[in-house]
Structure 1
Amino acid sequence: MAMAKSVLAPPVLIFALFCSYYAASMASAQAAASSSDGFLRCLSASIPSQLVFTQSSPSFTTLLKSSIRNPKFFTPSIVRPLYIVTPTNASHAQDAVLCGRQNGMRLRVRSGGHDYEGLSYRSERPEAFAVLDLSNLRAVRVDLQTSTAWVDSGATLGELYYAVGKASNVLGFPAGLCPTVGVGGHFSGGGFGMLLRKYGLAIDNVLDAVLVDARGRLLSKNTMGSDVFWAIRGGGGESFGVVLSWQVRLVPVPATVAVFNVPVPASQGAVDVVTRWQQVAPALPDDLFIRVLVQQQTANFQSLFLGTCDALLPVMGSRFPELGLNRSSCKEMTWIQSVPYIYLGSGSTVEDLLNRTTSASVFSSGYKATSDYVRQAIPRDVWANIFSRLAQPNAGLMILDPYGAQISTVPESATPFPHRAGVLYNIQYMNFWPMAGGGDGAVQTKWVRDLYAFMAPYVSSNPREAYFNYRDLDLGENVVVGNVSSYQAGMVWGHKYFKDNYQRLAVAKSQIDPDDYFRNEQSIPPLANSN
């Protein structure tokens, strides 16, 4: 992992670097001005002006900020887009791509704005780019006769769940917990949640998709090619074009489900219960999912069971008595009611799933996150050490999601998402800090990086696996050689996210976008033009 270093450079070197950077910036600015004028003129011929926002537009900043979920990427030093285009139909997206290609203006595609590194709306390096914001494309069309739905990439998971729940109380969809996450990015990276042990990932249930490629063509599963359709289901859709909508298979859920949230403090044996959970949770019946949020000195066990409390309690009593679940901790409701209950709390309603905004308290906190996969249970003494780290000042949290059951029956090569058989659980490390007062999060970020380094002997290796939807630029960044991202350099991070599937992703990239028009700091490079 790339660790932050503090090194003082000689004054002469600093001056030389500044001069070189200034010259490069001036040249880049001149080129950007030229491409910007042409791009804007091209857009004006086919896209209504009210759907295109320049940096001088009164609503530009509000729109850019509207779905930035990590406010550390909303500071003056961040490289922002020159334009935001908000298409209302497929032809607008096609025209934006064509105008971008013709005028040297790259596009970054944003659905919900939850990308942990903000790469859907900002750049790590100075460059001219526009954001294609899909928030106006968010229709959900449920077909009860076929138990399928078409959902646009700009819809949130909450909007998808709400539409499914409104149509039927015995259908659901296996995707993530956070209701404001955009469908486009979530599906593109895999997408897992409380139904993963029963029905796998979101991408395991994608039947078709509509894609705008780098040539502006509108493609479906049958016309984009089998390699590309395989690639967009977990390999990062933004690498291959603009995925406008997805057809998904809805899954059966019982009319009544059971949920519980049981906190176990360290003083009451949390270390022992978490240690035991590692072996129990991945081996439970596939109807039962128990995740753990470990923060400070408490482990919170959150569960969804596809059945009643009367059916759940005997299973817990025989398989996981260490948790001490009792009837008073078990709640019954419909599946759609369980979604806001688990993520938003007991006072939430189904209508809360339609709220696309992030609360002010969340927006005021920057965060750092990364991930791991565990294939062998971590010893108790290590967990005791972890709990001591979680008790440190400015400590963050860990989220543990169990695998096993259905997700492990799918071959690693079936989708780009390879973390299947043999995985006990996924770990997400997170830490937050207040942005008010100029907080830069250096201490909190260091805590995440230090814990990640400490965990190395106890998690997967060769490669040390990571989840693409928990994107982390510490794992590596693309290097552009000859205006094309280097395949070899991309392997540094690509194997962590995709293992042996990285090469096939690069082949698909070379088929659909050989010139690497759609790229960011962790996009798939084309293999045919590798360096």
Structure 2
Amino acid sequence: MVHHPADEAVGRCENHGSDGVRAAGSMTVTPDDRQYPDLVRALNARFVAHPESVRVVDAPSQVPAVVAEAVRRDKRLTVRSGGHCLEDFVFNAGTQVVLDLSRMKAVYYHRGLNAIAVEAGAGLLDVYEKLYGTWGVTIPGGICYSVGVGGHVSGGGWGMLVRRDGLVVDHLYAVEVVHVTADGSVRTVVATREPDDPHRDLWWAHTGGGGGNFGVVTRYFFRSPGATGTDPCRLLPRPPAEVLFSAVSWSWRDLTRDEFVRLVQNYASWHVANMAPDSPNRFVTSFMLLNHQSNGQIGMVTQVDAGVPHAEKLLDEYLAYMSAGVSTGPGALTEPMGELVGPMPHLAKPQRMPWLQCTRFMGTTNPQLNDPTLRAKYKSAYMKANFPRAHAETLYKHLTRTDIDNPKINIQLTPYGGRTHAVGERETALVHRGAAFKMLWSVLWNDPADDAKYIAWARESYAETYVETGGVPVPNDVTDGCYVNYPDTDLNDLAYNKSNVPWHELYYKENYSRLRRVKTAYDPRNVFRHRQSVRPHAC
């Protein structure tokens, strides 16, 4: 391995964690061990593997030996951080060795790189609590408390501060990667965004190029562009001290088809009109949950930075805009909605909360997140423009189908624009900088006997929505492809993607050619691969 200044840290050393406790070391778990069944399954209960072993590590220094052994023995290696991968990329029939990073959770200031280091197994809520409780700063990452940063960051993660502070990768200074060379040697590289860094392309690839592609990420190092000095309190964004938080719903029984269309077009048109990087409304972040009618409600959750001038007015104007043209105004949100939102009846009237309290509340109050029997299928789309009426009417058609009775099905409309729009499409691997908002088909169920029914619903509703572009949201003036952190292997299948636009163009557009060059340079043997991994030029 090569030495790098990244070995110089405050609060983390070779054999001790950030709290000074000695690391346990790499442990091997096999089918003979009682904990094995708990370590070979994803959050999505559809995906369970039967590897020869799971290698559990709790420090970056333990990773190269595990990778080297797998390469030497020619074993198919996959890597787990938080276990939230939405496809079977980690846990599948071909997996022979799982490298489990989920115990590698340290967060600390790194003097050598003048950045805050976050190990790849750390969960998002743990990261927020350490960053904010220690230094009063944060990264604009995701909502779900238990998502591991390993895959979340490399795919260009977003969250409730996305419009105010951009994507999490917009604050990524460096990444530490264990990779495999052409001759099978294992190397550790720290790649930074410095213009003269010979490994800068490897840093770039981890700003939206997706997990499981180039090597094992052991640590991310965060420092915002333009940050000066060596005080950790000044290296990353300071979140709002307080936020205004609102949770409302519209009753399905009160909505006509035309009113449903107006409601979703209101969401879309507001985000299209307010996507500029310096929009005064960049401090407003909101997502809408279009639940199946069996849920009874359509929900919307909104957060506003309470410290900006006229914050209450911004929220009031936003809520009024959303309800325009809908005869019945919003009421309390009283039903659970997929894996994101639990009942929040007390928030029909907006409340002021401390930021971290609200973040913890948002991330932990839905029991679906901790249901070990939950099965799921997901699909995604980026949107540049308002919904064509045909799109909105198709959503209505499938959300009101009577052959489906599942209140956990929803299509989420989630925020984008604002500061995400301040970065060019080539500056990071995350290419969808022109999008105004995103969509996520989130189809959840518990009984394996229902797999075919609910997967079919996802495929049918998605294909009909984009029937004019071959069943997928191809990049054009209205749609802009798909989000790599919501992987969907149907995009590889000509039965479902009839657009002649390959899956990698939907995820990466013109950035895929550069990602392939990085892959060829750092993983020419294609050790790190899955059904939608970046392909080296030799493959």
Going from structure 1 to structure 2, the CA distance change for 1:334 and 1:224 (only over 3 Å counts) comes to farther
Distance 2:114 2:520 in 1: 35
Whole-angstrom distance in 1 between the partners of 2:440 and 2:458: 10
2:439 counterpart (427, 433, 453): 427
User: Is this contact kept in 1: 2:394–2:464, CA < 8 A?
Assistant: no
**Correspondence list, 1:76-87, <5 A:** 79-87=49-57
What's the counterpart of residue 231 of structure 1?
205
SS at match of 2:420: helix
In structure 1, the partner of 2:271 is 281
1:52 paired to 2:52: no
RMSD value, Cα: 3.0
Aligned residues: 447
**Equivalent residues of 1:172, 1:335 under 8 A apart:** no
Q: Which runs of 5+ in 2 are unaligned?
A: 1-22, 224-235, 275-280, 324-328, 332-346, 495-499
**CA displacement at 1:308 relative to structure 2:** 5.4
Which SS does the other structure have where 1:177 is aligned? coil
Amino acid at match of 2:55: V
Task: Give me the whole-angstrom Cα distance separating, in 2, the residues matched to 1:493 and 1:83.
Answer: 31
Q: Which amino acid aligns with 1:259?
A: F
Residue 13 of structure 2 aligns with which residue? none
The residue type equivalent to 2:246 in the other structure is F
Q: Is 1:514 the counterpart of 2:517 in the alignment?
A: no
Shift of 1:407: 0.7
Among 107, 119, 122, which residue is 1:152 paired with?
Answer: 119
* 1:285-300 correspondence to structure 2 within 5 Å: 285-297=281-293, 298-300=297-299
One-letter amino acid of the counterpart of residue 237, structure 2: V
Hey, what's the Cα distance between the residues in 2 that align with 1:472 and 1:358? 20
After the TM superposition, which residues 373-412 of structure 1 pair with which residues of structure 2 at under 5 Å, given as runs? 373-380=382-389, 382-392=391-401, 393-394=404-405, 396-412=409-425
> Which of 453, 474, 481 is equivalent to 1:465?
481
Partner of 1:497: 507
Letter in 2 for 1:332: R
Alignment check: 8 A CA contact 2:260 2:396 kept: no
Give me the whole-angstrom Cα distance separating, in 2, the residues matched to 1:509 and 1:497.
16
Counterpart AA for 1:427: M
Report the identity percentage: 27
Q: Name the SS for the 2:219 alignment partner.
A: strand
Q: 1:340 aligns with which of 360, 366, 376?
A: 360
Q: 1:216 to 1:427 in 2, by over 3 A?
A: same
Do the aligned partners of 1:190 and 1:201 also contact (CA within 8 Å) in 2? Answer: yes
Residue 302 of structure 2 is aligned to residue 303 of structure 1:
yes
Report the TM-score when normalising by structure 2.
Answer: 0.76
CA 1:388–1:254: 2 relative to 1, 3 Å = same
5 Å-filtered alignment, 1:341-360, equals 341-345=361-365, 359=370
Q: Deviations over 1:24-73 (max 9, x none)?
A: xxxxxxxxxxxxxxxxxxxxxxx9997011223332223224xx201111
Q: Provide, for residues 100-132 of structure 1, a one-character-per-residue CA deviation record: whole Å limited to 9, x for no partner.
A: 111111311100111111312324xxx462010
Q: CA deviation at 1:380?
A: 4.6
Q: 1:331 to 1:424 in 2, by over 3 A?
A: same
How far the C-alpha of 1:318 sits from its partner, in A, is 4.1
Asked if the contact 2:473–2:482 (Cα under 8 Å) also holds between the matched residues in 1, the reply is no
Aligned match for 1:253, one of 239, 246, 264: 239
Give the match for residue 481 of structure 1: none
Question: What is the distance in 2 between the residues matched to 1:518 and 1:52?
Answer: 20
Q: Per-residue deviation at 1:420? A: 0.9
Change (3 A) 1:316 1:384: farther
Matches of 1:224 and 1:56, distance apart in 2: 45
Give, in whole Å, the separation in 1 of the partners of 2:143 and 2:95.
Answer: 34
1:224 positional shift: 6.7
For structure 1, which runs of at least 5 residues remain unmatched after alignment? 1-46, 479-489
2-side partners of 1:187 and 1:276: how far apart?
30
**2-side partners of 1:310 and 1:506: how far apart?**
46
Q: Is the 8 A contact 2:155 2:210 kept in 1?
A: yes
Measure how far apart 1:271 and its partner are: 3.8
How much has 1:158 moved relative to structure 2?
1.3
The 2-side partners of 1:128 and 1:288 are apart by 43
Q: CA deviation at 1:312?
A: 2.8
Instruction: Pick the structure with more helix per residue.
Output: 1
